[in-house]
Structure 1
Amino acid sequence: MFKPITIKDIAKALNLSTSTVSRALRGGYEISEETKKIVLDYAEKVNFKRNPIALSLKERRSYSIGVIVCEVANQFFSQAIDGIESVAYSKGYHVIISQTHDSYDREVINVEHLANRSIDGLLVSLSAETKDYSHLEKLHEQGLPIVFFDRILNSMNTHKVSSNNIKGAFEATEFLINKGCKRIAHLANASQLSITAERQKGYEDALKKYDIPVDDKLIKYCKHGGRDKMEVEIAVREFIEHDPPDAIFVASDRLSTGCLSTLKKYANNSNILIAGFSNSELVELLNPSLSYIRQPAFDMGKKAAEMLIDIIESKYPIEEFESVMLDTTLHPNGA
């Protein structure tokens, strides 16, 4: 009959106490790196698997973290989730992923569902429709560790991870200006999102640097974040129907796809240049071509998970929180 290896078995084999083995397996700071390596190497050799039910009963933890994103199919979020999982699983945590599809109602339901499953913490990237944050603020006040990434809530006192949206948007817009474009439209996400304000600022800063006036008629917001395809189509058609722009700076992957398909449908022979934020692996195959800003999605997810687990495992209340900003990279004309 099969009997799984236990912490007691490892302790006996290595002549260590069970508490030392348990802490070493958890990566406890009080255990030396040498002892951790001995324990982890032996655990791997004997194919040791921690018993999550026993652990949660003993430590009153579920060893699971929730992740709220708008869409797993979005390349940025799938790459960020890879980063989250790389950290979580190495530290013995399971990851439960939930999609909002940029719907506020879904976000509320998903957050409540995850909280009811007794997760140890929550990683959140806000939906495009979310303007009321009470569902998150209530849980945070009750002590649930929450860390934001990409689409962050600045008013909540916790760790946050973002990319340098202002710099990325500035570089994309400057690239279009250097290509000879003077009338550059901006297709933006929902107005209340943190990324929207930051990317619009980068866009406007680039225009101002080159003495190009900011024209409010050339800025359109998509309050559903591209979930409503007709909303994107209407916005792009309004750009191109009267006095079309030389270029469009697009704020996100989903908006970029909608923008390109609308141009193909209604302005297929135009010379409108497109630049925008995209982490898609297929971006270089798009037609018309898209110059793009790539975010370090994997590293953002990894850092957010590390910060969340630090809060979960801290023996003392954390009072000082960090906002981390990672650099983006510009890829001109899909190169």
Structure 2
Amino acid sequence: MSSKRVTISDIAQKLNISASTVSRALKNHPALKKETIKAVQDLANKLNYQPNLLALSLRQKKTNTIGVIIPEITSHFFSSIITGIQDVLVNSGYNIIICQSNESYKEELAIVENLLRIRVDGVLVSPSSRTKKFNHFSKLKQSGVPIVVFDRDCPNLEVDKVLVDDYDGAFQAIDYLIKSGCKKIAHLSGPKNLSTTNHRLQGYLDALKKNNLPVKEEYIVHASGFTHEEGIQPTKTLLRLKNPPDAIFAINDCIAISAMYIAKKLDFKIPEDISIIGFDDEPHTRYFKPALSTVWQPVYSIGMLSARILLSHLKNPDNTPKLRKEIFKPELVIRHSSIKI
């Protein structure tokens, strides 16, 4: 049997006072007697009164809700970013709605429409790997909803951004592989339209050129996504070449782990026959045999800074500060899957 939700009017009727007095007593209004405030709050607690946040948001023209759009939620990378966001917002008075696009542009469009419909106060977003146009994000901005893009860039979209220097991370990895003696370095890249893919690919290419090594098209293979399964076939393509590479730089750790798995199945010794380096520094990669060399990113800090920038807009809605583009520096972490210098 369902019970009726207790309202301010119910409390007012029981205490024989006005609803406006109850409302002020619940807010500890200084003009009211302490006895009145205590009587109202005691009865509210006894009846398990909960304020109507929907009605409150309509009066205040804000919902105290922030939407967070991410491509997926199962990886350590995005879960750590969410933790950083949560830790900043936990005492801010804002609630979080976490939305997963599943790397789908179509789902991302629907999410943005829903967030606009429920009138979120702000949005934090990392776009899907299928997103090539950003009109839906522009629509958020035009509707007065501040937006911060993190991890994956949206070129030419004029919003605040918190990114990582993917180019530098890739350059560090390739430069290290060359200095360790590798001459035939392949790149397991990601979906072609993503900023992270393009920046890491450019870092790979420039490191080869700087060290006077030729760029071989057959050594650049694009995976369709970032999961273990999506790294299997591209690795087979590379390792079954007539002249297979002696090193692989992967777009992320999941793809790198797939490369290690296939290399072992095809009787390549790691790192004696082939060095492998990933990107992200997922916690479990250090426990593989051999432990995976990778590029570390400050994912928790990405989440925290993104949330802080958004909060600064929400707390000062009439202030229009210069847009921020914050770029974190990654660090190369050498373990046992790559030859030591």
* TM-superposed deviation, 1:319: 5.8
CA 1:208–1:87 in 2, change beyond 3 Å: closer, same or farther?
same
Question: In structure 1, what is the equivalent of residue 325 of structure 2?
Answer: 323
Which TM-score applies when normalising by structure 1? 0.80
The yes-or-no answer on 1:293 pairing with 2:292 is no
Question: In structure 1, what is the equivalent of residue 65 of structure 2?
Answer: 64
2:91 partner SS: helix
Q: Tell me the distance in 1 between the aligned counterparts of 2:208 and 2:30.
A: 65
1:114 partner SS: helix
Q: Tell me the distance in 2 between the aligned counterparts of 1:215 and 1:247.
A: 13
Question: In structure 2, what is the equivalent of residue 91 of structure 1?
Answer: 92
Q: Tell me the distance in 2 between the aligned counterparts of 1:131 and 1:171.
A: 28
In structure 1, stretches of 5+ residues that fail to align are 14-48
CA 1:159–1:145 in 2, change beyond 3 Å: closer, same or farther?
same
The yes-or-no answer on 1:241 pairing with 2:260 is no
What amino acid is the match of 2:330? T
Given that residues 148 and 161 in structure 2 are in contact (C-alpha distance below 8 angstroms), is that contact kept between their aligned partners in structure 1? yes
Question: In structure 1, what is the equivalent of residue 43 of structure 2?
Answer: none
What amino acid is the match of 2:264? K
Percent identity over the alignment is 34
Q: Deviations over 1:115-168 (max 9, x none)?
A: 222211111111111123222222222222111000021211110000121111
The yes-or-no answer on 1:101 pairing with 2:107 is no
Q: Tell me the distance in 2 between the aligned counterparts of 1:86 and 1:5.
A: 31
Given that residues 56 and 62 in structure 1 are in contact (C-alpha distance below 8 angstroms), is that contact kept between their aligned partners in structure 2? yes
Given that residues 70 and 127 in structure 1 are in contact (C-alpha distance below 8 angstroms), is that contact kept between their aligned partners in structure 2? yes
Given that residues 161 and 303 in structure 1 are in contact (C-alpha distance below 8 angstroms), is that contact kept between their aligned partners in structure 2? yes
Question: In structure 1, what is the equivalent of residue 127 of structure 2?
Answer: 126
How do 1:156-195 and structure 2 match up within 5 A?
Answer: 156-195=157-196
* TM-superposed deviation, 1:51: 7.7
Q: Tell me the distance in 2 between the aligned counterparts of 1:117 and 1:228.
A: 36
Q: Tell me the distance in 2 between the aligned counterparts of 1:334 and 1:89.
A: 39
CA 1:128–1:86 in 2, change beyond 3 Å: closer, same or farther?
same
Larger-gyration structure (1/2): 2
1:279 to 281, 304, 308: 281
How do 1:1-335 and structure 2 match up within 5 A?
Answer: 8-9=27-28, 52-53=53-54, 55-222=56-223, 224-227=224-227, 229=229, 231-242=230-241, 243-269=243-269, 271-316=273-318, 318=320, 320-333=322-335
In structure 2, stretches of 5+ residues that fail to align are 1-10, 12-21, 33-49
CA 1:60–1:196 in 2, change beyond 3 Å: closer, same or farther?
same
Which TM-score applies when normalising by structure 2? 0.79
Given that residues 291 and 334 in structure 1 are in contact (C-alpha distance below 8 angstroms), is that contact kept between their aligned partners in structure 2? yes
* TM-superposed deviation, 1:67: 0.8
